Structure 1
Amino acid sequence: MTTAVQHPPRDIRQDDDHPVDAATIRRAMGRVPTSVAVVTALCDGEPVGMTIGSLTSVSLDPPLVAFFAFAGSSTFAKLRRCHRFCVNVLAEDQAEICHGFARLDGAKFELGQWENHHGIPTIHGAVATVLCEQDHVFEAGDHLGMIGRVTDVEFSDHRPLVYYRGQTSQLHSSGSWE
């Protein structure tokens, strides 16, 4: 019988003379690869969208997803007024869309190929298209979170675009995708 050796938890808190700062947290969390997605909606007849790197599955029953945005984001302020939205998980060949929607200005919806799915603009060729109804918005430090109740999902076998160490990256696989 093999038993696991349990080590006491490390105290990662720094003392009062050396508090953990935002730059250190950013560098540490940058080592965690994240999905790259563009959240889109139709608000007051106008398409709106923003790049996110914080998508997470919250619940399977009921089906809920969440993402986070800087509390001062003017795009998020528009998105939170929309009842329905779509999370478009980007494919590895869609970095231009990622960077375009991360900017404050520009003709974002001229990038990539677009479809209309239940009245919401969706990105053709995305790894996953997750249509949601807004469940609620909540505060989380200097960010706001939005939980969406999933109403429809489509997905493909395209390889995802990921964000790692401050830049978009591609996954490399030595095996097959199952």
Structure 2
Amino acid sequence: MLEQTAPVSAPLDQRSFRDILGRFPTGVVLVTANAAHGPVGMAVNSFTSVSLEPPLVALCAGRSSTTWPGVRAAGRFAVSILGEGHAELCRLFSERGADRFSGREWAYTPAGHPVPAGVLGWLDCEISVIHPAGDHELVVASATEGALSGAAAPLVFHAGRFRGLAA
């Protein structure tokens, strides 16, 4: 028979909420687009598949992001699934004001979005709908093209750190 005990609880402030959710490991992707003023991109760990038919994905973009307005205005973007060797690139794409595209090797999707070398896979996407969600926007997008392009171990974000995961 299982013994029942009450969980220890604490008020749910922003720090506690973030710490609790940080125990949930997530994959990490780059979202890139060709904005009116050139390429833009951001690191995202709130990304998931939604539907196989039609192929839909979802991500959450922070309302305070300086990159998201360019992606949103483009209406289309690429998602690059990162491998464990992309931790530094992911950190760079998480920094405000960083020069994210210079001095790196880029491939381009059929829609013309930049994809970093060595990603595990990529998708070209078109924004279908955007829902307000607190301090973020929940974005649902149609995946229009994609490919697997690598077999390395994925990059995982857990407890505030990037980690590898055996493939």
Same fold (TM over 0.5): yes
1:163 aligns with 2:152: no
1:106 corresponds to which of 73, 98, 101 = 98
User: For 1:74, which of 62, 66, 71 is the aligned residue?
Assistant: 66
Q: Does structure 2 conserve the Cα–Cα contact (< 8 Å) formed by 1:97 and 1:112?
A: no
Instruction: Give the % identical residues.
Output: 34
Q: For 2:116, which of 99, 123, 130 is the aligned residue?
A: 123
Aligned residue among 75, 82, 106 for 1:83:
75
Uncovered stretches (5+) of structure 1, i.e. residues with no partner: none
**Mapping of 1:4-153 within 5 angstroms?**
19-44=11-36, 46-110=38-102, 112-118=104-110, 119-153=112-146
Q: TM-score normalized by structure 1? A: 0.84
How many Å apart are 1:143 and its aligned residue? 0.8
CA offsets, 1:8-53, max 9 Å, x none? 9x98796xxx531111111111111111111000011500000111
**Aligned length, in residue pairs:** 165
In 2, the alpha carbon distance for the partners of 1:100 and 1:93 equals: 13
Instruction: Tell me the amino acid that sits aligned with residue 11 of structure 2.
Output: P
SS at match of 2:141: strand
Contact 2:36 2:70 in 1 (8 A): no
> Matched residues in 2 for 1:151 and 1:6: separation?
49
- Kindly provide the CA deviation profile for residues 144-167 of structure 1, in whole angstroms up to 9, marking residues without a partner as x: 111110011111322111101001
RMSD over aligned CA atoms reads 2.2
Q: Which runs of 5+ in 2 are unaligned?
A: none
